[in-house]
Chains A and B, each alone.
Chain A
Amino acid sequence: MAKIPYLGTALTNLFRKPVTIDFPAGEAPKAQPNYRGRIAFDGTKCINCGMCERVCAPSCMTRVAKPLEGGEPGDQEITFTFDMTSCTFCGMCADFCAKKAITLTDDYMMTGTQPEDFLVVGKVIKKAPPKPKFTPEQLAAMKAAAEAKKKAAEAAKAAAEGK
């Protein structure tokens, strides 16, 4: 009989401490340093440019814009929902996000029974662009007045030269 492989190690293992981590009883060990886990979305930084949606391969995020009820008429409240069950955690969205609003945390414990457990929802309040001081009519009127003034000035200059 050839030397039985691993017999020595098996018998010595009996007396060594098992290497198992006591997870379900104890708490889960931390993941490696920059582990790409669950997405964290910071609504304040996001400028709703849509780069993340365009660059996401499984298109796991959806953006819904609704007028903000409290604010001025132009305000929008955009809800970002990242569906963790269809995300590949490639981190492209985090890289392409100009404002670094999306970061991938190292939380890997993503188990759940309903689909809602896997949705990461973030809200972005997008102010309406500042209203121009003048309304378009006023602008037109001001432009006309400027035009008229410029013509009067030229006429006066021509008259002066003519003299």
Chain B
Amino acid sequence: MLFDLDKKINEAIDDAASKSLWLYHINAGSCNGCDIEIVAALTPRYDAERLGCKLTGSPRQADIVLVSGPVTLQSRDRLIRTLAQVPEPYCLVTVGSCPCSGNVFKGSYAVCGPVDKYRHVDVSVAGCTPKPEAIMAGIAQAAAILKEKRKGMHE
């Protein structure tokens, strides 16, 4: 378009993609330890809103999907369905060690293996309840990846 206005707009949108991160949290059977840590990240002491983070209620508006908990049998289908409903480009961040490996529940009949089996995990934050700073660091890393993904979309 005229004096490559579209390139400028696309760059602005890529930049914005890393500055406005809407979190959508999926609890795939977690013991709620990681859940309260995620919410703690939004409290005044850690304030994830500085990164532009905001909890949203629907996967349609998610940029970063936080998964916590070993993917139990019951929550397996629901996890896959919800992940399918999130619009591109989005990052999948696993919080805590359960989603990465199933932690102490590894090998149980009710646990359907790490999240990796269902979708490539962009950033994982280890720790059995990782500290809010760790979650914030993970989100910051995911923001950078998001920018690359968005850039990849329109190249």
A-to-B contact residues, CB < 8 Å: 18-21, 23-24, 28-29, 31, 37, 57-60, 83-90, 108-113, 115, 118
Q: How many Å lie between the Cα of A60 and that of B114 in the bound state?
A: 14
User: Would you call B133 and A85 a contact (CB within 8 A)?
Assistant: no
Interface residues of B in 31-64 (CB under 8 A from A): 44-47, 50-51
Chain B: residues with Cβ within 8 Å of the partner, total of 30
Q: How many Å lie between the Cα of A118 and that of B130 in the bound state?
A: 13
- If the complex has contacts A29-B133, A58-B104, are A111 and B128 also in contact, measured as CB distance less than 8 A? no
Interface residues of B in 113-143 (CB under 8 A from A): 122-128, 130-131, 133-134, 136-138, 140-141
Q: How many Å lie between the Cα of A23 and that of B101 in the bound state?
A: 28
User: Would you call A86 and B100 a contact (CB within 8 A)?
Assistant: yes
B69 at the interface (CB under 8 A from A): no
User: Would you call A88 and B125 a contact (CB within 8 A)?
Assistant: no
Q: Note all chain B residues with C-beta closer than 8 A to A89.
A: 127-128
**Number of cross-chain contacts by CB at 8 Å:** 93
User: Would you call A20 and B134 a contact (CB within 8 A)?
Assistant: no
Pick 22 A–B contacts, CB within 8 A, sort by A. A19-B44, A19-B45, A20-B44, A21-B45, A23-B136, A28-B137, A58-B97, A59-B106, A60-B101, A85-B100, A85-B101, A86-B102, A86-B103, A87-B126, A88-B128, A108-B133, A109-B133, A111-B137, A111-B141, A112-B126, A113-B123, A113-B145
Q: How many Å lie between the Cα of A29 and that of B131 in the bound state?
A: 11
User: Would you call A23 and B46 a contact (CB within 8 A)?
Assistant: yes
Of A58, A59, A111, A113, the contact of B134 (CB 8 Å cutoff) = A111
Q: Smallest Cβ distance from B112 to chain A, in angstroms?
A: 15
Q: How many Å lie between the Cα of A135 and that of B114 in the bound state?
A: 53
Q: Smallest Cβ distance from B73 to chain A, in angstroms?
A: 19
Q: Smallest Cβ distance from B110 to chain A, in angstroms?
A: 16
Of A19, A24, A37, A83, the contact of B136 (CB 8 Å cutoff) = A24
Q: In chain B, what residue has the closest Cβ to A25?
A: B50
Of B50, B128, B131, the contact of A87 (CB 8 Å cutoff) = B128
Known pairs A23-B133, A58-B103, A87-B128; list 12 more (Cβ under 8 Å).
A20-B44, A21-B46, A23-B137, A24-B51, A59-B106, A84-B97, A85-B101, A86-B100, A90-B128, A111-B124, A112-B123, A113-B124
